[in-house]
Amino acid sequence: MNSEDWNQRYDGDELIWTATPNQFLVSEVEGLQRGSVLDVACGEGRNAVWLALQGWEATGVDFSSVALEKAAKLAAHNNVTASWIEADITTWAPVTSSFDLIVLAYVHLPSEARGKLHRTFADGLAPGGTLLIIAHSLENLTNGFGGPPSADVLFSPDDVISDLSGLGLTVEKAELVTRTVQSDDGEKHALDTLVRARRPLSL
């Protein structure tokens, strides 16, 4: 899907996702020292806004202008400020070593683009910074609920470890995790890939 497809998907006043932050983001950032955070492909801003509410200096990037307008409204509604950047994350990159936390939540590009994407954003981590990747897992296709129905855009914790290898990051967590989802047909279970990696204070 290109930015116009996403703009159409986001069209309208209703949030297509939710205003609630992702549960794994909430648990994984607990205990981290507040600083600057980049939310990559931030969509309607639920995670960036929640992080701003926790005292992080938040920036969200997404190529959908419609999503970013909704994100700015969500921030205003919550009385927090955040910066919003309209850019294509396959070509845009953060300044090297600039963010204390970088979050990629449910960013599903074709597999040939995934490794470069993960390495580009790992490069944006300040010394001591944390990279958090949360995504629908490949296993979700057969054993879980929701998410994109294409194996090519799904990935496992091991895929992310492989993407990040050789960068000198410490992988602190790489797990398949279960998320409970309320659907029209009752409670379902989604399988997510969760990876948390930290850049050492000195490389």
Closest CA to 14 of 44, 45, 39: 44
Residue in this structure with the two tokens 């994407």, named with its chain if needed: 117
Closest CA to 35 of 107, 123, 119, 128: 128
Query: What are phi and psi for residue 19, nearest 5 degrees?
Result: -90, -5
- For helices 111-123 and 157-164, the axis angle rounded to 10 degrees is 60
Pick the piece of the chain touching ligand SAM (CB under 6 A) from 26-34, 104-112, 122-130, 194-202.
Answer: 104-112
**Among 62, 100, 159, 192, which residue sits at the site for ligand SAM (rule: CB under 6 A)?**
62
Residue 128 or 148: which CB sits closer to ligand SAM? Answer: 148
Instruction: Indicate whether 82 belongs to the interface with ligand SAM (CB under 6 A).
Output: no
User: What 3-state class would DSSP assign to 86?
Assistant: strand
Q: Which helix (H) or strand (E) holds 177?
A: strand 170-183
The least distance separating ligand SAM from the CB of residue 3, rounded to whole angstroms, comes to 7
Instruction: Indicate whether 154 belongs to the interface with ligand SAM (CB under 6 A).
Output: no
Using CB under 6 A as the binding rule, the residues of this chain from 18 to 47 that contact ligand SAM are 22, 41-43, 46-47
Q: List, in sequence order, the alpha helices (H) in 81-182.
A: 111-123, 140-143, 157-164
The least distance separating ligand SAM from the CB of residue 136, rounded to whole angstroms, comes to 9
**Among 15, 102, 105, 160, which residue sits at the site for ligand SAM (rule: CB under 6 A)?**
105
29-45 burial by CB neighbour count: b if 16+ within 10 A, else e?
beebeeebbbbbbbbbb
The least distance separating ligand SAM from the CB of residue 127, rounded to whole angstroms, comes to 25
Pick the piece of the chain touching ligand SAM (CB under 6 A) from 105-113, 162-170, 172-180, 182-190.
Answer: 105-113
Size of the site for ligand SAM (CB under 6 A): 18
Q: Return the residue nearest ligand SAM (CB atom).
A: 43
According to DSSP, the β-strands at 170-183 and 186-198 are antiparallel
Please count the other Cβ atoms lying within 10 Å of the Cβ belonging to residue 28.
Answer: 20
Instruction: Indicate whether 102 belongs to the interface with ligand SAM (CB under 6 A).
Output: no
Dist. CA 113–CA 2, nearest whole Å: 14
Pick the piece of the chain touching ligand SAM (CB under 6 A) from 51-59, 100-108, 168-176, 178-186.
Answer: 100-108
* Residue ranges binding ligand SAM (CB under 6 A): 6, 17, 22, 41-43, 46-47, 62-64, 67, 88-90, 105-107
